[in-house]
Structures are given as structure tokens and as C-alpha cells.
Amino acid sequence: MEPAVLAQVLGPLQGLFAPQDYPNLLVGLGAPDDAAVYRLDDQRAMILTTDFFTPIVDDAYDYGAIAATNALSDVYAMGGQPLLALNLVAFPANLPVEILTQILRGMAETVRDAGAVIAGGHSIQDKEPKVGLCVVGMGHPDKLMTKAGARPDDVLVLTKPLGSGVITTCAKVNQAAPEHVAAATRWMKKLNRAAGESAMLAGVRCGTDITGFGLIGHAWEMAHASGVGLQISLGAVPFMDGAQRYADEGIFAGGTLANHNAYLAHTKFMDDMCDGDCMLLFDAQTSGGLLLAIAPEQLPVFRAEMTRRGEAWWEIGKVVAEPGSIQVV
Amino acid sequence: MDTPTLDARGLSCPQPAFLAKQKLAELKSGTLQVLLDSATSRDNVTRIARNAGWTIVEEQDAGTFRLVLTK
């Protein structure tokens, strides 16, 4: 849903649950983050999240794998490890059940790759397929990555390129090259496990994952929650193969246009920037990478851990003192 | 002569934007009226037309967005 609508419908709920009555709820509606976090004891915090969506690619297995990767990502974005998951399934009665078998296999193999286990689920009949997971993860109550932990001079790191929104939208009208869709699918299926683990080993305390609100939307949430500004270097931001070409064509997902409407007022661009590239910063991502704010002294460990795992990352900007601003330079 | 019209109501996104883009490229100049029924398509078509140098007049009536594009 659109950011403003979400804020409108969730606002009244906050009044029902006074924070002082729930001291072990470390992250809840009061300071919305990627997942809810509940302290079990001094060493353990339970991380709880759920996510589901309609088909994003044609292949049933890949759809399931992407939906699971996306749902698991919130646990990594909080600095945790997934423990168990429940399937959430809406499926039409008139579609072959083999399709659902493939979807569920994609979800299950992804959960297994994350080191977690599928423990059950719930299914309903619906006109359009919708699948996802409810995930329980574990973290340390003092070592969480929230959106509120960014400090000036931290380095902004992104762990997947942008463009899955524009590529999958163009694919719907057969305007995306198969190799670009395939590459975008590989990125969307890629777990944020290595990035999350590397960030934890480096002691990172600020992160989020890039999904429906796009880079700018999620960056703004981080800036707002942390009381800082973020400076993003457009030239350092990675884009998926083909994304810039499709962005120049100008056909975007509804979510991307909503993000542009919602967050443009919070964002300062330089005059001569490419319109298509700027739009990609608002591109609604499915199963995007982590956006981390890493203190300079933490960066060598993060780089070493990512390198050791054969992972890519991009240093796309830095945290600045001016509260609430997103500057693109 | 009637204004050429693209009635893209009832089509799911991003089909309307794609059709409008094709039509504008085919016409090159003149006037095109586009009928749409979603804000997403309206925003996409408006951006595409503006970037290609078309001027846009928008009216809304009973759930229909009517864009008149001129170049």
C-alpha cells in the first residue's frame, strides 16, 4: 500500500498498545521497522515478520523462491537469523495444482537455504495467486539492526542493484529482453543472508531492506528514524542490466510512481541528472538488497566478510548531519 | 475531423502506458486524446508525453482520466 495510506490506517492502532505496557516489545508499531522484535531474555530476541504478494515472474518455482527470499529478508535486515517459517498461500481453484507444487518447492528450498524450516502454513482460494511466508527469526537484543542507528559519517552500502520494478513491469508488456528478466530474477532470488551475516560480524547497527518504497523511500525512513540525512552518489548506485534503458522508456510500476509522489519532496537532486536514472532511485523493488549504514571503522570487517563469501556490494554514499534530508549528488 | 483517441480503459497496467507510447511515436505530432481509468496509467502517460515534448491537458470525469496531448 502507499506510504501515506499505511500511516493513516496504522496510526489509530498505536493508541491501543501503550509502549510502557509492553516493555519486551523492542520494535513494534511505535517505531515501525522491517520486522517486529520481542525480547525473550537478555541474550535472545524473537524477530517476527510476514510478507506475501502476487506473481512477479512467470515461472512458478521462481515466484515461490522470490516470495520466500523477500519474506526472509526482513529478518536479515533486523540483524537476525531465520528459524522457522509458515507458508501463506492464496490460490485459484481453476489453476493446475502442479503450479502450486512448484511455487511451494521454490519457497521451501529457499527457506532451507536460509538455514530455517517450514513448519506449517495456511491456504485459501482466491482469484489471483498470492504467496509468502510468516517468519520467526532470532537475534540478540543488544545487536539489532534498526533504521534508527545511522550516524553522521557512516558509509551507505547497498547489496543488490536496483531495477527489478521497471524490468518486471516492462516484461508484462513483453518489452523486456529475456536475459534482463533472467538476471533480475537471479537477483530477486538471492538471499540477503551473506549481507546480513557480514553486517553482524562487522558490528553494524543500522540497516533495512530495499523493497516496495524503493531506495529513496527506504533511505528516507532510515534518515527520519535516525535523525540524520543521507547523501547518495548517483554514479555509485548499481543498476540491473537493462534497467536504465527501460527507465528511459518511461513505463513504471504503480508503486514506483507512488514512491515518486510521496518522497520527491524529501529529496534534492542536482539539475543535470538523467531523469530515468533518478526514477530508478524510486523504483519499487521486489526482494531488494540491504541498505546498511556502516561506521568507517566497521567497514574493513564488512568488506572482508563479503569478499570471503564471494559477494558484491556497493558503497553508494554517506550519512550527513542535516536531519531528514536525502541529497542525490 | 475527430481527434484521434486511444481508449485504454479496462486494460491492466502497464498496457495503457505502452500503447500510448507507441501511438505518440507513430503520430510524431498533432493531437491525441487518451482515456484511462487508473492514476498509475495517467502518471505514466503524462511523464512519457511530457518527456517527448507534448503538452498535456487533463480532465477527470466519473473515474475516467481524459488526457489531451498536443505537439
Q: Which helix (H) or strand (E) holds B67?
A: strand B64-70
Provide the percentage of residues in chain B whose pLDDT is more than 70: 99
Total domains in the fold of chain B: 1
Cβ distance A169 to B14 less than 8 Å, yes or no, reads: yes
The structural domains of chain A, with segments of one domain joined by +, span 33-139, 155-328
User: Does the beta carbon of A173 lie under 8 angstroms from any beta carbon of chain B?
Assistant: yes
Sorting pLDDT into bands at 50, 70 and 90, what band is B59? very high
Sheet with B5-7, side-by-side order of all strands? B5-7, B31-36, B64-70, B55-61
ipTM: 0.82
Q: How far is A311 from chain B (nearest CA, A)?
A: 34
A249 contact residues in B (CB cutoff 8 A): 21
Distance (Å, rounded) from C-alpha A82 to C-alpha A65? Answer: 15
The pLDDT profile of chain A, 329 residues, written as one tens digit per residue, is: 877 888 889 888 888 888 889 999 999 988 888 999 999 999 999 999 999 999 999 999 999 999 999 999 999 999 999 999 999 999 999 999 999 999 999 999 999 999 999 999 999 999 999 999 999 999 999 999 999 999 999 999 999 999 999 999 999 999 999 999 999 999 999 999 999 999 999 999 999 999 999 999 999 999 999 999 999 999 999 999 999 999 998 899 999 999 999 999 999 999 888 888 999 999 999 999 999 999 999 999 999 999 999 999 999 999 999 997 899 99
Instruction: Decide if domain A155-328 falls under CATH 3.40.50.1820.
Output: no
Q: Which domain holds residue B28?
A: 5-70
What is the model's pLDDT at position B1?
62
- Picking from B15, B38, B40, B46 by the largest number of A CB atoms within 10 A of its own CB, the best residue to mutate is B40
Cβ distance B40 to A172 less than 8 Å, yes or no, reads: no
In sequence order, the β-bridge partners of residue A293 are A156
Q: Are A123 and A31 in contact (CB under 8 A)?
A: no
Calculate Rg over the CA atoms of chain A. Answer: 19
Cβ distance B21 to A253 less than 8 Å, yes or no, reads: no
Is the model's pLDDT at B12 over the cut of 90? no
- Give the CATH number, domain containing residue B36: 3.30.110.40
A275 contact residues in B (CB cutoff 8 A): 51
Q: Are A164 and A188 in contact (CB under 8 A)?
A: yes
B39 contact residues in A (CB cutoff 8 A): 254, 257
From its phi and psi, is residue A217 left (phi > 0), alpha (psi between -120 and 50) or beta? alpha
B47 contact residues in A (CB cutoff 8 A): 250, 252
Fold of A33-139: 60s Ribosomal Protein L30; Chain: A; (3.30.1330)
- What single DSSP character describes residue A319? E
Of B17, B38, B39, nearest to A251 by CB-CB distance is B17
Contacts of residue A249, defined as CB under 8 A and 6 or more positions apart, other chains included, come to A170, A175, B21
Closest CA to A38 of A78, A85, A77: A78
Q: Which residue of B has its CA nearest to A275?
A: B51
A174 contact residues in B (CB cutoff 8 A): none
Q: Collapse the DSSP code of B18 into the 3-class scheme (helix H, G, I; strand E, B; otherwise coil) and give the result.
A: helix
Distance (Å, rounded) from C-alpha A133 to C-alpha A82? Answer: 11
